[in-house]
Amino acid sequence: MAASGPGAVAPVVFRVAIPSQLFSYTGTRSVTVEVAASAPRLADIFAALDRRYPGIGFRIIDEAGHVRPHMQVFVGHRVERDLTARIVAGDEVMIVGALSGG
């Protein structure tokens, strides 16, 4: 998808690594999503992911708009839980589901 018109923002493609707990939504370990924002945020990536795979966003983000406690999100090599965090072209987002047991 190309940007057109004055002030249009060219979409940025991000790679998102998907944990096995969410394979039922994507059918694969890695997907790409396009975000058309001049300064993309982590929330924009999750919104694009949910548009492409309806329902997956609710498994990652809770009703209060926070990353669920049992999910860990990495942007590049840093842990990121702030949905307003800026993401730059080339950043890879990795979602990791927590493991627990007893």
pLDDT, one tens digit per residue, over 69-98 is 999 999 999 999 999 999 998 899 999 998
Structure tokens at 61: 């983000």
Taking residues 14-21, what's their average pLDDT? 95
Taking residues 42-56, what's their average pLDDT? 96
Taking residues 38-49, what's their average pLDDT? 94
Q: What does the mean pLDDT of the chain come to?
A: 90
Residues 6 or more apart in contact with residue 74 via CB below 8 angstroms: 80, 93, 94, 96
Delineate the domains of the chain, giving CATH numbers in brackets. 12-97 (3.10.20.30)
Q: Sign (positive/negative) of CA torsion 8, 86, 94, 101? A: negative
Confidence of residue 10 (pLDDT cuts 50, 70, 90): confident
Structure tokens at 3: 């940007």
Kindly write down the DSSP assignment for every residue of 40-77, as one continuous string: -BHHHHHHHHHHHSTTHHHHHB-TTSSB-TTEEEEETT
pLDDT score at 36 = 87
Q: Is the pTM of this model over 0.75?
A: yes
* Phi, psi torsion values for 61, nearest 5 degrees: -110, 130
Burial of 89 (0-12, 13-18, 19+ CB in 10 A): exposed
pLDDT score at 4 = 56
